[in-house]
Structure 1
Amino acid sequence: MGLKKMAFGGERLEKLRNNEVVSRSRMKLWMIRATTTVLLWTCLVQLMALSETWGPRVLKGWPSCFSHESVVALAVWSSPHLPVRVHPPKRVYKNNGYLMVSCNGGLNQMRAAICDMVAIARYLNVTLIVPELDKTSFWNDPSEFQDIFDVDHFITSLRDEVRILKDLPPRVKKRVELGIIYTMPPVSWSDISYYHNQILPLIQKYKVVHLNRTDARLANNGQPLEIQRLRCRVNFSALRFTTQIEELGRKVIKMLKRNGPFLVLHLRYEMDMLAFSGCTQGCNTEEVEELTRMRYAYPWWKEKIIDSDSKRKDGLCPLTPEETALTLKALDVDRNIQIYIAAGEIYGGKRRLSTLVASYPNLVRKETLLDPSELRFFQNHSSQMAALDYLVSLESDIFVPTYDGNMAKVVEGHRRYLGYKKTILLDRRLLVDLIDHYNSGSLTWHEFSAAVKDAHAERMGNPTKRLVMPDRPKEEDYFYANPWECLQPSDEDEQPVIISI
């Protein structure tokens, strides 16, 4: 019995030893397979990365189930709530250096500048660093690019045209920290050849060039068609606002549309505009003194002594709230229409708005439509507040700017791109003359209204070519107000067809 037990125990021990050996062998095999798989994946990812940058062309032509597009499709398939985002292929070119830019001005002045700088970077075959926004202007807005625009969309949507980075590569950044960089403001309204002949050699020499003023630096006219089309593509497609701004904008638009048609009035009667322009029509003595002090406080506002009356008669002042009310009534704008004021705080407050409110009681602003908690994040961020107004302006049934500033011009051009949506472009010089005649009694209401309608019959954002003035670029029509190279009316009497970009 004892021998049998020992034999049985020995067999059992032998089996246990065999099982342990098999388990170890299986474990080793599993580890070898796992390690091999990880190595293969690592090699494949590295190979794809190398092929994106400098690999042979034949490699790029191979179909791959691990391409970026396939990964996106797989992610969408596994998570149907994610949007489909297929990015264009990267453009391959020899990089000539790096372009850094610092934008100046308000939101729409900077917006147009960004479009110009992308086109310039593309033409020069340089890498563009995400633009720096102005933080020293009157508004003192601390917002960065990514606080206003969807920076990842901006970079990826343009990757077939230009390489854009959020920051300089470490090696190049070290050069900049050592002061090896060339900083300059480019010449205003320059032809694209200026950048090729003057700026590109500097980039090739210093590797990095910093343009510190970028507004109105590329000419309106005479540029290659592909440059004009790219400016449009950046403006209408790549420069998308952040999700937070877009969602709040959609909420305001939905609230307005729920109550019927609405008109957006860009009432540019704000303190900074009045101080800058020197226009004091309707202001009391204390207000005139306050605006004058402000004008002298900013050294870059070069014009100090201004004759408000003569400037108004030349059509160089924004319309006052009182003049605006008369103009809208003369154009037979329905008294009960919703009017959304796209502007900052109106100078003079309720006192100056009283005439407009009496004529159009359905006057609203984002501050009256939204709960204060919804706007708390945007407080003291004027560019983000302006972005909300921009979105609402695009969707309005009618857009009426009372001054031809940057927002008025850029919104006008964007509405043309969206199908020539109704934009009433006021002839301020004629209007103030007609208003003065009406107020003095030399024109009846019927005569005044008929004259206003007749003067603006062809000023509703209709298809038209820009006015070109080669020797006076500041006085010619602005590219972003009417980018006709990106638009193509099918017929003068039909809805225009928009060229895809």
Structure 2
Amino acid sequence: MGVDLRQVVAGVLTLTMFVMLIHMIKRDHFDAVQDKLPGTTEDVSFENSNFDTTHVRKNIGIWKGDADELKPCWVKPSEDNVEQTEGFVTFSLTNGPEYHISQIADAVIVARSLGAILVIPDIRGSQPGDKRNFEDIYDVDVFMKSMEGVVRVVKDLPARISNKIAAVKVPNRVTEDYIAKHVEPIYRSKGNVRLATYFPSINMRKSGEKGDADSVACLAMYGSLELQQEMHDLVDSMVERLRTLSRKSDGQFIAVDLRVEMLDKKGCQGSDSDKEKSCFNAQEVAVFLRKIGFGKDTTIYVTQSRWDGSLDSLKDLFPKTYTKESIIPADKKKKFLDSEDSELEKVIDFYISSESDVFVPAISGLLYANVVGKRIGSGKTNILVPANIPDSSASASSFLSHYVSKKNHFAYSCYC
């Protein structure tokens, strides 16, 4: 009986394809994988060690899933309850988005209380002449629409008014009583005011009874500011890069607010005791994260602008530690990182910290307080405050932010 040559060829091809398939499966599961993401300035290497499933099962509780996203429960106030006047309230946003949120809230509360017209603010950096438009960072249409029926808003101050403005300082979380005593008399006398918010303390705890001003503050802080499209897309792309780097932890990553220059400032000095300590360096953060159970494959984003040698101790324990310069797309680096303006970098840090699976504030300050507020609304309440742990290990839940464990953040007045 003759052999059909076509059957022989088909058999050989089938066998060859089967061998190739086995080889591909074996390579994908067991070979070392090394990726370099487009646009990074350093190689992104994945560990050669096999995936330790026992370790994952042990630590799965650390990556506490998001809680249910909360719904805004503030009542939008009406303009009808306020006597309207013809003066203007102007102000500038300064020092980064953690301050912008509070500055916006104070300005809206003052303008509404006076029945005045609010002028869209400009945004000013730390250097003289460092100035940009509101719409360079935020969506101006979203802001104006959110204020409809609450306070009148215009994009520009009329030229005839520009030299007739009285400067007034107001404390963060300004009250209606303060406005009546210290701002309204000046407004009535001069006709227009320019606000500057100062921060006598960093306190975002919710107050006792909820009033009309609280509803206005809730709307202004959590319902009026959205990033303009380019900024929004950039932050999204950087978050996705971090998730890509986090394959061994199911795409989850930690954001650590750790800026080396802040550790030398007054607020971080003289706080060495455990009860008073409000700032932690890279080594202390690394030891803390290890002791509560995070493994070496954990991906960490650090808010430090450029890599600093002091971060090496964090990278020694967590090799997948990155700053923004190593994950930003190459075509965005010149515009957002290589300029003299640090405002855009602060925006990136704030919003990545708001989106991470775990947030660790190594520095206690307004960024911590206002990132927590933003995370509460989206259900991302896995916020772990560092501490010096004397034992070899501890439960992560013991270090949950008091803003969350006690539900005493102002944001809990705004969401339900």
Tell me which residue corresponds to 1:242. Answer: 228
Give the counterpart of 2:135 among 122, 129, 146: 146
Q: 1:133 to 1:372 in 2, by over 3 A?
A: same
Distance 1:128 1:223, change over 3 A: farther
The match for 1:411 is 371
Q: Which amino acid aligns with 2:348?
A: L
Give the aligned residue type for 1:110: H
Q: Counterparts in 2 of 1:169-180, with a 5 A limit? A: 169=158, 173-177=159-163, 180=164
With over 3 angstroms needed to count, the CA separation of the structure-2 counterparts of 1:454 and 1:243, relative to structure 1, is: closer
Q: Secondary structure of the equivalent of 1:414?
A: helix
Residue matched to 1:341: 302
Instruction: Give 1:320 deviation, angstroms.
Output: 0.8
Aligned-pair distance for 1:322?
Answer: 0.6
CA RMSD of aligned residues (A): 3.0
Which residue number in structure 2 is paired with residue 206 of structure 1? Answer: 190
Deviations 1:240-265 (A, max 9, x none): 11111001111122223343333333
Shift of 1:95: 2.7
Give yes or no for the alignment of 1:251 onto 2:237: yes
Instruction: Give the superposition deviation at 1:485.
Output: 0.8
**Aligned residue among 74, 81, 95 for 2:84:** 95
Alpha-carbon distance in structure 1 between the residues aligned to 2:228 and 2:108: 19
Describe the SS at the equivalent of 1:202: helix
Q: Does residue 1:264 correspond to 2:254, yes or no?
A: yes
- Return the offset for 1:190: 4.3
Contact 2:255 2:300 in 1 (8 A): yes
Q: Distance in 1 between matches of 2:128 and 2:157?
A: 28
With structure 1 as the length reference, what TM-score do the two structures score?
0.59
Please identify, of 415-424 and 103-112, the stretch whose mean Cα deviation from structure 2 is larger. Answer: 103-112
Distance in structure 2 (CA, Å) of the matches to 1:483 and 1:227: 14
Q: What CA deviation, in whole Å up to 9, does each residue of 1:114-151 have, x standing for no partner?
A: 1221122223321111123333x369853332221112
Contact 1:267 1:401 in 2 (8 A): yes
Q: Give the 3-state SS of the residue equivalent to 2:207 in structure 1.
A: coil
SS of 1:325's equivalent in the other structure is helix
Does 2:296 match 1:352? no
Name the SS for the 1:99 alignment partner.
strand
CA radius of gyration, larger in: 1
Structure 2: distance between partners of 1:188 and 1:407: 14
Q: For the Cα contact (< 8 Å) 2:90–2:120, is it kept in 1?
A: yes
Q: Is the 8 A contact 2:303 2:349 kept in 1?
A: yes
User: Does structure 2 conserve the Cα–Cα contact (< 8 Å) formed by 1:324 and 1:356?
Assistant: yes
Q: 1:449 aligned to 2:393? A: yes
Q: Distance in 2 between matches of 1:139 and 1:336?
A: 43
Q: How does 1:12-51 map to 2 (within 5 A)?
A: none
Query: 2:214 maps to what in 1?
Result: 228
Bigger relative contact order (CA 8 A; separation at least 6)? 2
User: 1:193 is aligned with what amino acid?
Assistant: D
Long gaps (5+) in structure 2: 1-75
Kindly provide the CA deviation profile for residues 274-322 of structure 1, in whole angstroms up to 9, marking residues without a partner as x.
332375xxxxxxxxxxxxxxxxxxxxxxxxxxxx4x4322634521111
| More helix by percentage | 1
Map residues 352-501 of structure 1 onto 2, 5 A cutoff.
352-379=310-337, 380-426=340-386, 428=387, 431=388, 434=389, 447-450=391-394, 453=396, 455-456=398-399, 458-459=400-401, 462=404, 464-466=406-408, 481-488=409-416
Shift of 1:223: 6.6
Cα deviation, residue 213, structure 1:
3.5
Show CA shifts across 1:322-373 (max 9, x none): 1111000011013212111233235xx1x31222112111112332123332
Structure 1 counterpart SS, 2:401: coil
Question: How many angstroms does 1:103 deviate by?
Answer: 4.0
CA distance in 2 between counterparts of 1:382 and 1:369 reads 17
What is the rounded CA distance, in whole Å, between the counterparts of 1:231 and 1:89 in structure 2? 11
Tell me, in whole angstroms, the C-alpha distance in 1 between the residues paired with 2:264 and 2:320. Answer: 29
Distance verdict in 2 for CA 1:138–1:270, change over 3 Å: farther
Corresponding residue of 1:186 = 170
CA distance in 2, matches of 1:139, 1:337: 40
User: Are the aligned partners of 2:257 and 2:302 in contact in 1 as well (CA < 8 Å)?
Assistant: yes
1:152 alignment partner AA: D
- Judging changes above 3 Å, is the alpha-carbon distance between structure 1 residues 327 and 482 closer, same or farther for their aligned structure 2 residues? farther
Tell me the equivalent position of 1:14. none
> For 1:383-407, what per-residue CA distance to the aligned partner results, in whole angstroms no more than 9, with x for missing partners?
2222222222222111111111221
Q: What is the distance in 2 between the residues matched to 1:140 and 1:277?
A: 26
Aligned-partner residue type, residue 362 of structure 2: T
Match of 2:292 in 1: 331
Match of 2:3 in 1: none
- Per the TM alignment, residue 191 of structure 1 is displaced from its structure 2 partner at its CA by 2.5
Letter in 2 for 1:112: S
Q: Distance between the aligned counterparts of 2:106 and 2:209, measured in 1?
A: 11
Q: Decide whether the 8 Å contact of 2:97 with 2:350 is kept in 1.
A: no
Alignment check: 8 A CA contact 1:269 1:321 kept: no
Offset of 1:463 from its aligned partner? 5.1
Go from structure 1 to structure 2 and tell me whether the alpha carbon gap of 1:231 and 1:112 turns closer, same or farther (over 3 Å shift): same
Query: Partners in 1 of 2:332 and 2:302 — Cα distance?
Result: 18
